[in-house]
Amino acid sequence: MLWQLGLPLSSQRISLPKFVEVEKLGFSQELRRQADGIYQAIFDHPFVRGIAEGRLQKEQLIHYVKQDFEYLNAYMRIYGIAISKCQTREEIALFNQQIDFILNSEIHPHHNFCRVAGVKFEDLQGFPLAPSAHHYIRHMLTVAHEGSLGEIYAVLLPCPWTYLEIGKKLLEEVQPTPEHPYYEWITFYGQRAGGVTEKFMRALDQWAETANAAERQRMTEHFLQSCQLEYLFWDMAYRLEDWPVAVPVLQL
C-alpha cells in the first residue's frame, strides 16, 4: 500500500487498467457467429465444390432443380403468410419484392443447371419432395404459422445468406470466365449486393431489440435449424436422396 511506503499519493503514478471498447455484435451477426461451423461445412460440401470445379453429374443437377423449384414455391407461400403478419407497408413491400425476384430472376441459376444437364427447365417441375426438402419446408411453414414476424425473418434468413456467401466465395476463388459451365450460377449469386440478406438482417435486428428472452431463443433455434437444413439440402441433391421405400403414386 502507498501509505505504508510513507510516500504521498501525489508523488506516485498509479497505473489503471486500459479498457478497450468492443463493438457488440447485432443479433443477426451473433447468429452468424454461432452458425459459422455450419457455414464452413456448406462451403466444403462436395456439391458446392462441384460447382466451383465444374464437376457435377447430370442426375445431381436435375435432382437439385426439381427440389429447389418446389422449395421456392413453398418459400413464396411463406412470404404470403408473413405478409399477413406485417404491420407496415414497408414490411409488406420487402416480401412482395422477394416474390417477384423468385418468379422472374431466381430462375436463371436453374436454367444454367438445366443447360449443362441437357434438359428443359419445364420438364423438372411438379415432382414430389425428397425427405430433406420436405423437412425444410415443413420447418419453415410451422414457424410461419405459429411464430411471430421476427421468427419468420429468422427462419428464412439462412437461405439467402448462405447463397450470398457461397456466391461471393466462389466468385473470388474461381474467378470464372464465361466458359465455366456454372458461370451464370456463380455470377448470379456472387455479384448480387446484399439485397434481401441485408434487409432481413436489419429487420431481424430491429425485432430482436424489443423481443423478450424466450422469443430471442426461439429465433436463434429457428435460424440454426434452417442453417442445418441448408446443408442437408445440398447433401440431398448430391446423394440423389429419396424416400427409403418406393410407393407408386396412384392417379385417382
**Domain boundary assignment for the chain:** 26-239
Give residue 109's Cα distance to chain centre: 16
pLDDT at 25: 77
Question: CA 112 → CA 59, 123, 125, 195, distances in Å?
Answer: 14, 14, 15, 22
pTM assigned to the model: 0.88
CATH 3.30.70.1060 fits 26-239, yes or no: no
Question: CA 24 → CA 21, 28, 29, 201, distances in Å?
Answer: 9, 11, 10, 15
**Own/partner pairs, 45-54, CB within 8 angstroms, 24+ separation:** 45/231, 45/234, 45/235, 45/238, 46/238, 47/234, 47/235, 47/237, 47/238, 48/166, 48/170, 48/234, 50/238, 51/170, 51/182, 51/185, 51/186, 52/170, 52/173, 52/174, 52/186, 54/180, 54/181, 54/182
Residue numbers of the chain with a pLDDT score lower than 50: 1-23
pLDDT at 193: 64
C-alpha 31/C-alpha 40 separation (Å) is 14
Are 156 and 95 in contact, with CB atoms under 8 Å apart? no
pLDDT at 17: 41
pLDDT at 53: 98
pLDDT at 229: 99
In order, the DSSP letters of 35-83 are: THHHHHHHHTSHHHHHHHHT---HHHHHHHHHHHHHHHHHHHHHHHHHH
pLDDT at 92: 97
Are 65 and 251 in contact, with CB atoms under 8 Å apart? no
pLDDT digits (tens, 9 = 90+) for 91-137: 999 999 999 999 999 999 999 999 999 999 999 999 999 999 999 99
pLDDT at 19: 36
pLDDT at 247: 85
All cell numbers assigned to 208: 430482436
pLDDT at 21: 39
Report phi then psi at 24, rounded to 5: -75, 135
Who contacts 128 (Cβ-Cβ below 8 Å, separation ≥6)? 249
All cell numbers assigned to 57: 453429374
C-alpha 159/C-alpha 221 separation (Å) is 15
Are 192 and 69 in contact, with CB atoms under 8 Å apart? no
Are 154 and 139 in contact, with CB atoms under 8 Å apart? no
pLDDT at 194: 62
